Amino acid sequence: MKRSWLWLGAGVVVLAFLYLPTLGVSVGQILGFLLVLACPLMHFLGGHRHGGADAKASAPPPAESAPRPSVSDRDQA
């Protein structure tokens, strides 16, 4: 798969950092906008895989609980 779209996007971001401050937009506003924009982009591009089958398969099995004493064990103590 060609990554030319990635280089194009990186170029647009670099040009925005260079050009937008001349229009009165601060770097903090640009970073805030990119942070807000990152969430839908991650969901659109497939970065929303929170766990799933792979996470369940690699998780350790739950620890067994200690056996509970029976009623007769408590009466003897």
pLDDT digits (tens, 9 = 90+) for 2-58: 788 888 988 988 898 888 888 898 888 888 888 888 888 777 777 656 665 555 555
CA distance 74 to 77: 5
Decide if pLDDT at 68 tops 80.
no
Q: Give me the count of residues in the chain.
A: 77
Instruction: Look up residue 50 and give its DSSP letter.
Output: -
Q: What is the pLDDT of residue 33?
A: 86
Spatial separation of the C-alpha atoms in residues 13 and 72, rounded to whole Å: 73
pTM exceeds cut of 0.85: no
